[in-house]
Each structure stands twice: as C-alpha cells, then as structure tokens.
Structure 1
C-alpha cells in the first residue's frame, strides 16, 4: 500500500501501531487493555481510532469471525524511518548528528546500547 508511506500516524495511532507490531494480531479489547496499563483511555475511543486507522490504511481488520482482529499494515521500519526523517528535518535543521547528541544527552543508555552505537559508528567508517 503506497499511501501508507505518506501517512504520518497521530500519537494515539502510533501507540496502537506499537502494540500491533509487538503483539501481532489483536482485538480492540486486547489493544485497549494494553493501552490502559499506562494511560487512561475509553474503550469506544480505542475502537474509533482503530476504525479510522483501518480507513487510512494503517491497519487491516479481519471480519471473518464475530470478534474482529486487527493487524498492522504500516511497516514498523518504514514508519520509523519516515518519522525520524521528519524529526531531523523539522526539529534539527537536517542534522542527524544533533538528533543523536540530543537523544544521548536526554536519555540514559545501557552499556550494551552504547557498545551497539559504537559498533554502528565504526562500521560506518568503513563504508
């Protein structure tokens, strides 16, 4: 679906996509239960957002049984790439280095994450 590449999910849609990317196929009830673990949300609001996401082409809905099952159509990789590109362009004047430095300055990274970042940077030197 080519239109999904140009659609920027809202914050609420992105939260739902994160759940679907992690869990796979889910009912609205399953998504809602996960959402309410860290924020207040009404079931009908979750349902409406997921219906709108289906209309936008971000998710698909299987209606073959009584309980409708939703799954992500939007690729996690492509969505993240699009959002990071927009963030770099809009908030960091096109500088990926400024984004990385801001991210590392604002959040504590584990030793394993720092090692993975160092390895990634070293691998870039050889390309």
Structure 2
C-alpha cells in the first residue's frame, strides 16, 4: 500500500525548496548543482521530489525551450507558518500558548531574550 502524502515538507522537499527560495527559479540540474548539503542526491531523486512539490502546490514549472524552469508558488514565510500551524495542531491542541511555554521551559530563556519577547508582546498588544 502506498504511503500517504505528507501534509508538511519532508527533509528532501525542504532542501529543494530552500534552494529555490534562495537562488530563485531553476532547472532540475541547476537545483541539483545548488544542493551542497550531504547526503548528495541523484538527478532522478531531485526530479521526483520536484514533481511531488508541484503536486503539493509548492512549485510550478514553465517551459524554456526544452527545459522546465521550476519556480516557487509558496513563499518561505508562508511555508514556515503552515508548518507551525501543523505542529501546534498535532502536538498542542491548537494552543500557540502551549507551544511557546513548551519552548521556554525546554531551553530556558536568557534575560536578553525575555526583554526582546516582552517588547514584541507589547507591540502586538498595540496592533
């Protein structure tokens, strides 16, 4: 039985999206050449992953002669927010407060970070 498609980005999908977000549109070969992190991926693996990203709505392609140029449909910030919403729903019963408390309890907070967080909270109260 085939695996259920992931609602979020897999590690391989994220690697490819990071290249497209950073470098801009490109061909499969250009994206492959820009993947510097290990493990290295084969051309066919990158192509398959790009096709999956198209089906998920993260990428689109246009033709340039015989080449396909892949461009992002989803910006990095939007993808990041989507991943956080998924995490909050899955582990914290849709409570952003519980997520933040978990992060703060897990790693502790330096005084400078607390000061910055307070400023951010004060600004969000005003808006």
TM-score normalised according to structure 1 size: 0.70
Closer, same or farther in 2 for the Cα pair 1:54/1:125, shift >3 Å? closer
1:79 equivalent in structure 2: 79
What is the 5 A alignment of 1:97-112? 97-104=97-104, 105-106=106-107
Residues 1:10 and 2:6 are matched in the alignment = no
Q: Alpha carbon RMSD of aligned pairs, Å?
A: 3.0
- Does 1 or 2 have the higher relative contact order (CA < 8 Å, sep 6+)? 1
Q: Which structure's CA Rg is the greater one?
A: 2
With normalisation by structure 2, the TM-score equals 0.70
Quote the Cα distance in structure 1 between the aligned partners of 2:55 and 2:94. 32
Note the residue ranges of structure 2 that are not aligned, 5 or more in a row. 1-5
Q: 1:15 to 1:94 in 2, by over 3 A?
A: same
Paired residues, number: 119
- Runs of 4+ more than 4 Å apart: 106-109, 113-116
Deviation of the 1:107 alpha carbon: 9.2
Structure 1 counterpart SS, 2:38: coil
